[in-house]
Structures are given as C-alpha cells and as structure tokens.
Chain A
Amino acid sequence: MAETEIKSRKDLLDIESLSIEEIEYLLKTAEPFKELFRRSVKKVPTLRGKTVLTLFYEPSTRTRTSFEVAANRLSADVTNFAVSTSAVVKGESILDTIETLQAMRTDYIVIRHGASGVPALIAKHTRASVLNAGDGFHAHPTQALLDAFTVREVYPETEQKRILIVGDILHSRVARSTSTIMRKMGMEVGVLGPGSLVPEGRPDYMKSFWNWEDALAWKPDVVYLLRVQMERQEQQFFPSLGEYHRVYGLTSERFKRVEGAGIYLMHPGPVNRGVEIVDEAMAYERCLINQQVENGIATRMAALYWLKPGEENER
C-alpha cells in the first residue's frame, strides 16, 4: 500500500498544471526505472499490449527516439506516424488525423507540433493519453522533468540552488518549462541572452542578466545552455553565429571560469558546437549532457507509467 496516493492523470501537457506532489512523484518514480538500465533484461512488461504512437510535426530525432526507447522498455508497441509522408501534407486537418488515430485504438500519443496548444486539442478529442513532446513556444514537459531529475542527482536539495539559463529564451519552450519546474523545486532562476531574445513579459522570479560577467558574479550552481534554434527564427535576432558565440556562447575563457567554480553544465541537445558551447566543455566532468539523455528515457518511462488513458468506449 502506498502512503502517498497520487492519482493518475490522462495527459501530460505542461509543467504549470502539475502540483509539486505530482512532480515529486514523477521524479521518484523515474529512479527505479533508471536502475532497470543496469539489469541484463532492461525491459518490464508494464505496458504489454498497449500501443504508443509518436506523431512529430516537427523533426526531432532525439526526443522521438527517447520516447520510443522508453515505450519499448515498458513493452508497449510503438508506431511512428510519419507526418511528412502522411495525409497531413495532402491537407488533412488535425482533427481528421485524430479520427484516424482513434480508429487505430492507440493508447498513448506522443506529439510534437509547431503550434502551441495542438497537443491539448488532441487530448480533448481522444481517449488516448497525450504526452506533449513540445508545442510551439509553449511547453516541453518531459524535457523539464528530465532536467529536474538530472539536477536532483547532483543536488538532492534543490532549495535555493541557482540555475542560469543562457540563450534564446524567447523562442524556447525548454526555457519556459524548465524554468517553471526549477522554480517549483525552490530554485532561483536567472536568464542571460541577447536583449532581443529575452521576453519582455518574463515572470518576476526570473533574474535577467545582460552579460556573462554579471551572470557569473551571481554564482549559479548550474548553467543551462539553450540551443540556438536557427529554424525557429524567422527574423534575425543577432547578426551571426560567430557573434552569438563571442557574446553569449560558452567560450574557452568562460568555460575556464565555469570549471574553476565547479558549476554544472546542461544543454537539451542537440549541441551546436562552437556556437552555444566550446568543444572542450563537452568533456568536462561536470557536464551533464549525456546524463540528461539517459535520464530522459527514465523520466519518460515514469510519465508513461503514471498516465492512464480514458476508458475504451470513451472518446
């Protein structure tokens, strides 16, 4: 009998709507899943006979693969709905696609879409559990969970710890979801980015910095570098990648200071070497990027384990 009863939800759409107890539950649940990776049989029969469908309207090898591995290790059957070759390009509406998916009796839908709110729309119209794998500039909840899990591995007590998020904050759902979860865990959040890329309406709790000098003087415990997302910038917000690296990137000189202060480094991947981060920082012993990848599988397993699709006859 569990002492703390955390009722299952149908969908995982964002971090904002999760209670701190639910976040705690998910992070705790991810631990035994991570331990499974050390067994010879890395698979458990938990979702045997269930189907997971990945539906990516934006390309993402890492997140999709991570979800697929997570679902496979839970013994679910995974199908990748290949969007570019599907009827979507023929003008089929999202709701028609849902109708089709519904007929396939899928139990979990993992979706990424360029427009905010699409996962929520799909969740409303299907009995399947919907996991938001990134929508527009809105949310990327499983990324936030894996980031929180990773921080907790190095800092079991997160209260008052400081995380500095560097980069394209404006176009980043990662920045939004990850800063929200860190805040919920009692951390202090600072942001550093080009003036044109730090949103004006940012929440009060975020402390903003305009240069590395001030940001490092704030003594962060973790530096979280965002990826420069060339594809999501319709206008140019900074002159060139070289310019970005010089002003906001983790250069050799800044890396030496980070290393000297023992600050942990994180990045959601994939890394643009020489833009956000200098090559040698990838081999730094407090660089948690590979750990984030492994933890992504464990936390996504925890999410799939926790969510419960609606009843068979429901829509």
Chain B
Amino acid sequence: MGSERTLLSGEGITEKVGELAAEIRKRCGDDRPAFVGVYTRGVTLAKRVKEALKEEWPDIPLGTLDISLYRDDLDDLQTAPKLESSDIPFALDGTRVILFDEVMYTGRTTRAALDVLMDYGRPARVELAVLVDRGNRELPLQPDYVGLKVETKVGDYVAVQFVEDDKREGVYLTD
C-alpha cells in the first residue's frame, strides 16, 4: 500500500452532496425524478441527496440495486460476492431515474447497473450522479452529475467512506 491522501473531508462531502442536490433540482425542474442507489455506498449517497432535497421534494422514491449478478468479472473471483436485495418500490416505466454511485471509474459498474435497471422496466430516461469521477474509463459512459472530478492512475485506490457504512467519513486516495 502506498500513501493515503484525503481528497474530501467529512465537511467536503456534505458540501458536494449539497451541490449535487442543487444541480439535480435545477436540471429536473418540474420533473421530479426517482432515485436509485447502487449498493453499498451509492445507496447512502442517494439517501443523502434525497435528504438535502426534502424541502422541495419531500417524497422522492428511492430504490436500491445490487449489481453482483450482472458483473462481468465473476469468473475471476474466488468468492461469490454477498448479495443484497435489489428493490425498486415504484413503477419504473415512464419515470425519470437518477442512478447514484459513489465513485465512477471504469464504467463497468454503471454498465451492470443499467442492465439491472432495464430488467425491472423501461424508465423514461436515466441519468447518473456520482460523488467522485476518477477517470480511467473502459466503456463509453459518462456521469451527468459529478461532485468531484479527480485525475488518478490505474491502480490507485479511491475510497469513499460514509459514517453510515464505515467508521469514518471522507474520500481518500491511496497510490
């Protein structure tokens, strides 16, 4: 392991979540979207943004997705990933959906998440919101809403930690 650098502090995360919320509010206008978080921390991110928007939109529907069954690298793993419940508790057909993931990297998670979503129904449109875009894409996919854009090398490790899921809060880069 190399050295660890803090990209965002806890307050930094709160600030970025506020910016994501404001941008989503501005671009969606009267078309209230539904949120879908990708396990684990994408779900937490979606909840945070929903919380930030509770004045304007008190009841944004929130769904969760586990993409494990749609991964393209299962053959390379020695351990079958633990599965979480995917749950889309609203009618997806015709709905504007914002997909949340904490970090965007190769784009493979997003590809998988889109496939899962399409197996649940036919949303009117799907957009992607991420807290951190660390570049190094392997697929032609880009996020619509980005908290922090950061240049990284392949092999660097970017960890988003939320107090709900981890012991501390912040975004860290290990090279």
Which residues does chain B contribute within 8 Å of A28, judged by CB atoms?
Answer: 82-83
CB distance from A72 to the nearest CB of B (A): 14
Interface residues of B toward A: which range?
A: 10 to 19
Which residues does chain B contribute within 8 Å of A31, judged by CB atoms?
Answer: 83, 85
A29 and B80 form a contact (CB under 8 A): yes
CB distance from A53 to the nearest CB of B (A): 19
In the complex, identify which listed stretch (A36-44, A154-162, A170-178, A267-275) lies at the interface while the others stay far away. A36-44
Q: What's the Cα separation between A4 and B69 when bound, in Å?
A: 18
Interface flags for B52-84 (1: CB within 8 Å of A; 0: not) read 000000000000001001100010011111111
| CB within 8 Å of A: which B23-55 residues | none
Most chain A beta carbons < 10 A, residue from B66, B79, B115: B79
CB distance from B35 to the nearest CB of A (A): 19
- Whether A44 contacts B69 in the complex (CB less than 8 A), given A35-B87, A39-B119, comes out as yes
CB distance from A43 to the nearest CB of B (A): 8
| CB within 8 Å of A: which B138-174 residues | none
Which residues does chain B contribute within 8 Å of A306, judged by CB atoms?
Answer: 80
- Whether A305 contacts B84 in the complex (CB less than 8 A), given A40-B121, A44-B70, comes out as no
B85 and A8 form a contact (CB under 8 A): no
Q: What's the Cα separation between A28 and B84 when bound, in Å?
A: 9
Say yes or no for A90: interface residue by CB 8 A criterion. Answer: no
Which residues does chain A contribute within 8 Å of B77, judged by CB atoms?
Answer: 8
Which residues does chain A contribute within 8 Å of B84, judged by CB atoms?
Answer: 32
A4 and B115 form a contact (CB under 8 A): no
CB distance from B104 to the nearest CB of A (A): 17
Which residues does chain B contribute within 8 Å of A7, judged by CB atoms?
Answer: 78-79
B82 and A45 form a contact (CB under 8 A): no
How many residues of chain A have a CB within 8 Å of chain B? 25
Which residues does chain B contribute within 8 Å of A2, judged by CB atoms?
Answer: 79, 81-82
- Whether A29 contacts B79 in the complex (CB less than 8 A), given A39-B119, A41-B119, comes out as no
- Whether A45 contacts B120 in the complex (CB less than 8 A), given A32-B84, A35-B85, comes out as no
- Whether A32 contacts B66 in the complex (CB less than 8 A), given A39-B119, A41-B120, comes out as yes
CB distance from B115 to the nearest CB of A (A): 7
B120 — nearest CB in chain A belongs to which residue?
Answer: A39
A45 and B115 form a contact (CB under 8 A): yes
Which residues does chain B contribute within 8 Å of A81, judged by CB atoms?
Answer: none
Interface flags for A74-86 (1: CB within 8 Å of B; 0: not) read 1000000000000
CB distance from B113 to the nearest CB of A (A): 13
Say yes or no for B86: interface residue by CB 8 A criterion. Answer: yes
B85 and A25 form a contact (CB under 8 A): no
Which residues does chain A contribute within 8 Å of B83, judged by CB atoms?
Answer: 28-29, 31-33, 305
Partner of A6, one of B66, B70, B79, B115: B79
Q: What's the Cα separation between A101 and B70 when bound, in Å?
A: 28
Which residues does chain B contribute within 8 Å of A29, judged by CB atoms?
Answer: 80, 82-83
Interface flags for B98-125 (1: CB within 8 Å of A; 0: not) read 0000000000000000010001110000
CB distance from A301 to the nearest CB of B (A): 9
Most chain B beta carbons < 10 A, residue from A4, A29, A45: A45
- B interface residues (Cβ-Cβ under 8 A, vs A): 66, 69-70, 74, 77-87, 115, 119-121
- A interface residues (Cβ-Cβ under 8 A, vs B): 2-8, 25, 28-29, 31-33, 35, 39-41, 43-46, 74, 305-306, 308
7 pairs of A and B residues whose beta carbons are closest in the complex? A2-B82, A41-B119, A44-B69, A32-B83, A46-B69, A306-B80, A32-B85
Query: What are 11 A-B residue pairs whose CB atoms fall within 8 Å in the complex?
Result: A2-B81, A2-B82, A6-B80, A8-B77, A8-B78, A28-B83, A29-B80, A32-B85, A39-B120, A45-B70, A46-B74
Kindly list 14 other residue pairs between chains A and B, CB separation below 8 angstroms, not including A32-B85, A44-B69. A2-B81, A4-B82, A6-B80, A8-B80, A25-B82, A29-B83, A32-B84, A32-B86, A44-B70, A44-B119, A45-B69, A305-B69, A305-B83, A306-B80
